[in-house]
């Protein structure tokens, strides 16, 4: 059984779900929590996934405790009915931690995809760092995306035999989605890409940036848009009203800023591929953009994904308004600085992560050999 609730989880699980469905000897039950209802449904449609159960836990304005309580309450009868041998979760959302605990309490094996990410700060990212550490404690099999993640787990005294390095399945999903060339539903985006002009893609939603930081991000993007009128800023706005109230007011009167609803995954990958620079606080974008040769400036103080920072395609810049403006301006103005970051170096995967993950799952449940670990 696999359980997921957000768009990033759906994207990263989709290649594994498809690979599991294609294997004989394993029966798969797919459960969604509906934490990101519309965005979740869009990803399922792109990859042709039809869930077996929908817990429908989303409620406007609910807090983290309410969300986790609903997942526990509504997942438990499904676990009782289906009686799976193992439960597969991905990443570090509240859905992941709650589902893992629900399975553990019924003595069901937990398989954790994208295991071993660590920022070293329990409050950043919040609540993800705590969620992933909780899930590690109850997992039987840890599918680490990189050797760095594996080493994090080994430092926490996990047996090496319980860890497989798969690469990140987001690369499998990205390569498939980019090939599809999904048409844009927003004519402004189609026009921006057809013009061939430079594009600054901005995404910001992290909870730890809600307290003043997101207002600084909005002001920084405003300054950049006014300084570079020939650069189109594309900002898919997260639906959370706290995010929108902080981020969007400074951008309302700017003609070269395109604010959209959250983009379907296929459209978002097209914008990423066309972008000149990406400014984000997202974890997934840090993994995807290096595959496309895009410089990524991360508006966080730390990251649990250091591999691309080490490779030089990702830079941590924090949320200071002046620094954001300076870092983006440097890439837009200095061709040499841009080239140094725009290297198609991808330490996260080679498009075969799902294949390695399924082999490790088969080895756990029905025997057989794992594939060699991914080595960037």
Above 80 in pLDDT, residue 37?
no
Give the count of beta carbons closer than 10 Å to the beta carbon of residue 208: 18
Are 26 and 361 a contacting pair, CB within 8 Å? yes
Q: Indicate if 205 belongs to the active site.
A: yes
Tens-digit pLDDT profile for residues 139-177? 999 999 999 999 999 999 999 999 999 999 999 999 888
Tens-digit pLDDT profile for residues 198-237? 999 999 987 767 778 889 999 999 999 999 999 999 999 9
Cβ within 8 Å of residue 308, ≥6 positions away:
286, 287, 290, 296, 314, 345, 347, 348
Q: pTM of the prediction? A: 0.83
Above 80 in pLDDT, residue 35?
no
Give the count of beta carbons closer than 10 Å to the beta carbon of residue 78: 17
Q: Indicate if 114 belongs to the active site.
A: yes
* pLDDT-based confidence at residue 238 (cuts at 50, 70, 90): confident
Strand 2-4's sheet: what is its strand order? 53-54, 30-32, 2-4, 86-90, 109-113, 141-144, 163-165
Above 80 in pLDDT, residue 287?
yes
Helices 94-105 + 64-82 axis angle, to 10? 40
Single out the catalytic residue among 41, 128, 208, 281.
128
pLDDT of residue 344: 60
List, in sequence order, the alpha helices (H) in 6-93: 7-21, 37-47, 64-82
Tens-digit pLDDT profile for residues 306-362? 888 988 889 999 999 999 999 999 999 999 999 999 876 678 889 999 999 999 999
Above 90 in pLDDT, residue 302?
no
Single out the catalytic residue among 23, 37, 106, 207.
207
Single out the catalytic residue among 114, 172, 287, 288.
114
Single out the catalytic residue among 36, 118, 142, 205.
205
Give the count of beta carbons closer than 10 Å to the beta carbon of residue 101: 19
Above 80 in pLDDT, residue 36?
no
Q: Domains in the chain, start-ordered, CATH in brackets?
A: 2-168+349-365 (3.40.50.2000), 186-341 (3.40.50.2000)
User: Residues 117-137: what's their mean pLDDT?
Assistant: 95
Single out the catalytic residue among 92, 129, 281, 304.
92
Above 70 in pLDDT, residue 51?
yes
Average pLDDT, the chain: 93
Above 80 in pLDDT, residue 123?
yes
80, HSE (Cβ side, Cα atoms, 13 Å):
6
Q: Indicate if 207 belongs to the active site.
A: yes
Single out the catalytic residue among 53, 216, 238, 300.
238
């Amino acid at each position: 059984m696999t359980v997921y609730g957000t768009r990033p989880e759906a994207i990263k699980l989709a290649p594994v779900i498809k690979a599991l469905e294609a294997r004989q000897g394993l029966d798969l039950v797919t459960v969604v929590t509906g934490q990101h209802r519309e965005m979740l449904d869009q990803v399922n449609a792109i990859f042709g996934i039809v869930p077996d159960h929908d817990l429908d836990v989303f409620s406007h304005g609910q807090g983290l405790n309410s969300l986790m309580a609903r997942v526990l309450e509504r997942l438990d009868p499904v676990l009782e009915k289906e009686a799976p041998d193992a439960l597969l979760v991905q990443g570090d959302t509240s859905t992941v931690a709650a589902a893992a605990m629900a399975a553990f309490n019924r003595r069901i094996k937990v398989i954790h995809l994208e295991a071993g990410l660590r920022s070293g700060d329990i409050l950043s990212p919040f609540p993800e760092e705590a969620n992933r550490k909780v899930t590690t404690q109850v997992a039987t099999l840890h599918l680490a995306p990189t050797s760095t993640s594996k080493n994090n787990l080994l430092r926490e005294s996990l047996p090496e035999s319980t860890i497989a390095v798969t690469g990140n399945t987001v690369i499998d999903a990205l390569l498939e989605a980019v090939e599809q060339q999904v048409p844009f539903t927003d004519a402004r985006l189609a026009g921006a890409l057809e013009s061939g002009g430079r594009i600054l893609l901005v995404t910001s939603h992290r909870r730890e940036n809600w307290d003043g930081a997101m207002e600084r991000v909005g002001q920084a993007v405003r300054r950049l848009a006014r300084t570079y009128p020939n650069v189109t800023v594309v900002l898919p706005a997260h639906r959370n009203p706290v995010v929108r109230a902080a981020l969007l007011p400074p951008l309302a009167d700017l003609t070269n800023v395109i604010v959209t609803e959250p983009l379907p995954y296929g459209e978002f990958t097209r914008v990423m591929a066309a972008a000149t620079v990406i400014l984000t606080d997202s974890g997934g974008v840090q993994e995807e953009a290096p595959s496309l040769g895009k410089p990524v400036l991360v508006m966080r103080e730390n990251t649990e994904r250091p591999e691309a920072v080490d490779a030089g395609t990702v830079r941590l810049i924090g949320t200071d308004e002046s620094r954001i403006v300076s870092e983006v301006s440097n890439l837009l103005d200095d061709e040499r600085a841009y080239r140094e970051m725009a290297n198609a170096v991808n330490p996260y995967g080679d498009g075969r992560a799902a294949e390695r993950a399924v082999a490790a799952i088969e080895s756990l449940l029905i025997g057989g050999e794992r594939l060699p670990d991914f080595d960037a």
